[in-house]
């Protein structure tokens, strides 16, 4: 949680400046909820004009949960409090084989300016596109043959959306057998 909010600070300030990102402060985020923890992805919710205000965030856990909330800041821009909404299961459909417990290893999170929520999964390599933060009715993006052969639990780790809407991802470890 500490890394999550420190990263939010750096990202929030970097989005508002022309300079390099610098560490400003840290804030420890905790919740009294058994689903809290294991955070693997964080992104700032874009404002309607597409800019990152550093106020609203979304985070995913590696156990298939998403939560969004608001970061409160002091006048110097330091995070003083994180208020999170309820936990939602990422596209939980009991009949969907993608969402068996062992396949819920969500890792990368990218919030597109059009409101889509993109999530990469590393155990069973795939990227889902959800229409919005309700994270229901996911579309599976094309599964490229290059994804085949990634080590289990070392697959698609990071995720980003480019200015033209292109989706970028990369694996945690090189392909099996490639050293």
The closest of 28, 48, 32, 27 to 87, measured between CA atoms, is 32
pLDDT in tens, 83-138: 888 899 887 555 565 566 666 678 899 998 888 999 988 777 788 899 999 888 88
**pTM exceeding 0.75:** yes
CA distances to 42, 43, 95 from 56, in Å: 11, 9, 32
Cβ neighbourhood burial of 134 (10 Å; 0-12, 13-18, 19+): exposed
Beta pairing class for 106-111 and 117-121: antiparallel
């Amino acid at each position: 949680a500490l890394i999550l909010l420190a990263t939010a600070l750096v990202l929030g300030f970097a989005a508002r400046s022309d300079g390099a990102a610098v560490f400003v402060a840290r804030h420890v985020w905790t919740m009294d909820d058994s689903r809290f923890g294991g955070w693997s992805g964080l992104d700032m919710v874009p404002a309607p004009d597409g800019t990152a205000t550093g106020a609203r965030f979304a985070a995913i856990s590696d156990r298939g949960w998403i939560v969004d909330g608001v970061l409160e800041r002091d006048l110097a821009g330091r995070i003083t409090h994180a208020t999170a909404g309820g936990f939602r299961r990422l596209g939980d459909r009991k009949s969907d084989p993608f969402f068996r417990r062992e396949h819920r290893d969500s890792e990368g999170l990218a919030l597109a300016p059009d409101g889509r929520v993109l999530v990469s999964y590393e155990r069973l390599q795939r990227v889902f596109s959800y229409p919005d933060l309700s994270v229901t009715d996911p579309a599976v993006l094309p599964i490229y043959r290059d994804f085949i052969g990634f080590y289990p639990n070392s697959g698609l780790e990071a995720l980003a959306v480019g200015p033209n809407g292109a989706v970028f991802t990369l694996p945690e470890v090189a392909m099996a057998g490639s050293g």
